[in-house]
A and B are shown apart, each in its own frame.
Chain A
Amino acid sequence: MNTNGGQALIKSLELEGVEVIFGLPGGAILPVYDPILDSPIRHVLVRHEQGAGHMAEGFAHATGRPGVAMVTSGPGATNIVTPLADAYMDSIPMVVITGQVPLPSIGTDAFQECDTVGITRGVTKHNELVTRAEDIPMAIRQAFHIATTGRPGPVLVDIPKDIVDPRNPASAMNWNWPTDADVSSSMPGYKPTTKGHPKKIKEAAALIAVARKPIIYAGGGILKARAAEALRELAELTGIPVVTTLMARGAFPDDHELCLGMPGMHGNYTAVTSIQKSDLLIALGSRFDDRVTGKLDGFAPDARIIHVDIDPAELGKVRRADVPIVGDCRLVIEEIIKALNALGGPESRMDITPWRQQISAWQELYPLVYEQSIDGDLLKPQYVLEQLRDRSPADTIVASGVGQHQMWTSQYWKFNYPYTWVNSGGLGTMGFSIPAAIGAKVGRPDRTVWAVDGDGCFQMTAQELVTAATERIPVKIALLNNAYLGMVRQWQEMFYGERYSEVYLSPDLPDYVKWAEAMGCVALRVESPDEVGPAIDKANEINDRPVVLEFRTDASEKVFPMVSPGTSNDQIDVGPLQNGLGR
């Protein structure tokens, strides 16, 4: 016996290339924290385990590498359930190590015991309770393999204390690092398909060639597959316009003439309408989410569908595909490009100029608009975001919480680089932005990282700014404080007859500036439009500590366009400023 489970666990993480662990120790995971002292791996001590999970997610979003979080048993594990669910919905590669009570105590209602694998079964791509110290290296290798291949996702490894505690004989083991072949033969049921079926690829190319009104509907899978370059090549070869879903912002540059921006419930008019009127929808790594489709039977009624996804369960789940292709987006797009070229030059495809002209006309008629506030009034959130966008480096990484501020950020930011947008799409986790931004900044210390947050979100996870200040992780927070749970307020205004129930939060309780300062941040309150730019400039100059800019914004401002829940995308509401414009 030449090592013990605790040392083997840390060594395994090192061998997997882990540079940073976000975590918080506790009783059951204590033995694993001891060897961390001697490891080159950086540990970021969070203030709440949820923060550790979202930091790992933010790290993964920004770097494409799996984020790693480590917490203790019981409440440590339950506190990280939300990030697991979030990562599962958004296909984020993440490995979470949880401590567990010693094997002989499992099932006895021991102190800080919970059924972690049972609780997290439905919110992980895979989870495993390790029962023998010698199995730890294989469990870690499997976890990273599963988290990062196929459709990425979170994997949890539950480690009982006795098999990692050197004082316990159950932890004694001989070191053995499994080979790649060992890993794949240990999982006979796991073989993700990456290469698209050649026949289907040809069918896809044939459909593209005859389409008069095609749209590329790009989803988060483009980013997961590192397919942004391939997507651009496909779009430029064919001239087909691209919509980028909330999860795909940045996968295709917003400043590209073929980029139509975000579709969906708060998508822009052109992105939503071009999907509706299309005769061919080329869905690449997107999953026909209800927030994109609106009322399903009214969604893109005349479109044939090419659907490319690495997860076979996505094909036909929501909308039947005429050409379903299981495979890695990058590989499949490259094959489709080859198949298109094999058909001939541009003359082998339909002329889509009239379609492009129609789309340009929509863009001209329905740009995103808002009304600037007059002096003395509260700030318009859109104005704040425009200033933030224009005064920050072009490759700034932006994280957001969930709600109105998230939609405005997605609408008003210009995402011209992949992996610059970090948000909670599927689960819609309020409080995501601050820890996610911290994780992103740890992964990309060379980049400016802004978190755009709402006051409701801020109050859920603000304590992680203490982590950021302590660990010298200089993230910047743009807090849009409208004193409300803004998106819920918007729904109550629009769909509940302006009956505002439990949405008021107060603009100055808490005092966000004092709170931020108490957490070691530089903090500024911004109330008038002429202060916005200078405050942002000042924040962008600070690089040794976190900054919080509190913008007092107008609660009556609503997110438009909007497709009301339960209605078809054809019923898109462009908002009061554009209603009545000829359609």
Chain B
Amino acid sequence: MPPKYHVLSVLVENRAGVLARVSALFARRGYNIYSLAVAPTDDERFSRITVVVDVEQAPLEQVVKQLNKLIHVIKISELDPRDSVERELMLVTVKAPAEVRGQIIELVELFEGRIIDVGRDELALSLDEHPERLDDLEELLRPFGIIDLQRTGRVALPKLERS
């Protein structure tokens, strides 16, 4: 994860072409979208897009204002990582011959992940956790030989008030 990043939670109408409209506003300015997660909300008329971008604050404000102008965008909130709960799902297939299999299983248990498929010399595992925990596990698995890895991109919601 780059040092400066922003997490936008964009509530949109759940219909064709909306994602293209949203992503085009980043693309025309040359901003790379670091990760993107889209799915319908509890109200199926709407979807929530969680987009992570590596942009300075000032241009981001302009992008947010432009996003707000899209007819199909209902609401945008920027989520400060300090004030939000974030989760991401990762699936990994890793080389796991008999002599290291135990170590990998131990690692997955330590991270509270799950083994989801077992092959002769490979294991597939999943972890849903804070994105930084995913980074950690990924780093620890790398020496064993990662064959495939897929992350979903983060989803986030604001932290609840406690006061």
Interface, chain A (partner B; CB < 8 A): 117-118, 121-122, 125-126, 129, 146, 187-190, 311-313, 316-317
Contact = CB atoms under 8 A, between A and B. Distances in A.
Contacts of B66: 313
B20 A118 contact: yes
B115 interface: no
Contacts of B3: none
Contacts of B69: 125, 311, 313
Contact of A121 (B20, B65, B68, B73): B20
B68 A146 contact: no
B20 A312 contact: no
B17 to A, nearest CB: 7
B17 A129 contact: yes
A189 B13 contact: yes
A392 to B, nearest CB: 40
| B61, B65, B68, B73 interface centre (most CB from chain A within 10 Å) | B65
B13 A313 contact: no
Contacts, number: 36
Contacts of B21: 121
B74 interface: yes
Interface string B63-75: 0011011111111
Contact of B65 (A122, A146, A188, A313): A313
Interface in B11-56: 12-13, 16-17, 20-21, 24, 28
Nearest to B66: A313
B61 A316 contact: yes
15 contacts: A117-B17, A121-B21, A122-B24, A122-B28, A125-B69, A125-B71, A146-B71, A187-B71, A188-B13, A189-B71, A189-B73, A189-B75, A311-B69, A313-B66, A313-B68
B20 to A, nearest CB: 7
A117 B17 CA distance: 9
Contacts of A187: 71
B56 to A, nearest CB: 14
A316 B61 CA distance: 10
A235 B71 CA distance: 35
Contacts of A129: 16-17
Contacts of B20: 118, 121
Nearest to B70: A189
Given A117-B17, A317-B62, A312 B68 contact: yes
A238 to B, nearest CB: 30
A126 B62 contact: no
Contacts of B70: 189
A146 B71 CA distance: 9
Which are the 7 A-B pairs with shortest beta-carbon distances?
A: A313-B65, A189-B74, A126-B71, A190-B71, A189-B73, A313-B66, A188-B74
Contacts of A188: 13, 74
Interface string B83-119: 0000000000000000000000000000000000000
A189 B70 CA distance: 8
B28 A189 contact: no
Nearest to B11: A189
Contacts of B72: 189
B17 A189 contact: no
| A118, A146, A189, A313 interface centre (most CB from chain B within 10 Å) | A189
Contacts of B16: 129
Contacts of B17: 117, 129
Contacts of B61: 316
A189 B12 contact: yes
Nearest to A142: B71
Nearest to A151: B69
Nearest to B63: A313
Contacts of A312: 65, 68
Given A188-B13, A313-B65, A313-B66, 7 more contacts: A117-B17, A121-B20, A129-B16, A189-B70, A313-B68, A316-B61, A317-B65
Contacts of A121: 20-21, 24
| A117, A188, A190 interface centre (most CB from chain B within 10 Å) | A188
A312 B70 CA distance: 12
A316 B58 CA distance: 10
B61 to A, nearest CB: 7
Contacts of A118: 20
Contacts of B28: 122
Contacts of B24: 121-122
Contacts of A122: 24, 28
A188 B17 CA distance: 17
A125 B12 CA distance: 17
B18 to A, nearest CB: 10
Nearest to A316: B61
Nearest to B21: A121
B38 to A, nearest CB: 16
A189 B69 CA distance: 9
Contacts of B74: 188-189
A311 B17 CA distance: 23
A126 B75 CA distance: 17
Nearest to B67: A313
A37 to B, nearest CB: 33
A118 B65 CA distance: 21
A187 B28 CA distance: 25
Nearest to A311: B69
A118 B23 CA distance: 12
A126 B61 CA distance: 21
A155 B118 CA distance: 54
A313 B62 contact: yes
A256 to B, nearest CB: 34
B73 to A, nearest CB: 5
Contacts of A117: 17
Contacts of A317: 62, 65
A188 B43 CA distance: 13
A122 B21 CA distance: 9
B155 to A, nearest CB: 21
A118 B24 CA distance: 10
A308 B121 CA distance: 67
A452 B115 CA distance: 75
A190 B13 CA distance: 11
Contacts of B12: 189
Nearest to B28: A122
A118 B13 CA distance: 18
| B21, B69, B72 interface centre (most CB from chain A within 10 Å) | B69
A273 B69 CA distance: 34
Contacts of B65: 312-313, 317
Nearest to B75: A189
Nearest to B17: A117
A125 B13 CA distance: 17
A330 to B, nearest CB: 21
